Amino acid sequence: SQTIHQWPATLVQPVGSPLSLECTVEGTSNPNLYWYRQAAGRGLQLLFYSVGIGQISSEVPQNLSASRPQDRQFILSSKKLLLSDSGFYLCASTTPGTRNTIYFGEGSWLTVV
Q: Residues of 15-54 as b/e, b for ≥16 C-beta within 10 angstroms?
A: eeeebebbbbbeebeebbbbbbbeeeeeeeeebbbbeeee
Site string for other proteins, 3-42 (x = CB under 8 A): -----------------------------x-x-x-----x
Give the C-alpha distances (Å, rounded to integers) separating 55 from 8, 47, 74, 87: 24, 14, 11, 25
Site string for other proteins, 78-97 (x = CB under 8 A): ----------x-x-x-x-x-
Interacting residue with other proteins among 46, 58, 62, 65 (CB under 8 A): 46
Query: Applying CB under 8 A, which residues contact other proteins?
Result: 32, 34, 36, 42-44, 46, 49, 51, 57, 59, 88, 90, 92, 94, 96, 99-107, 109
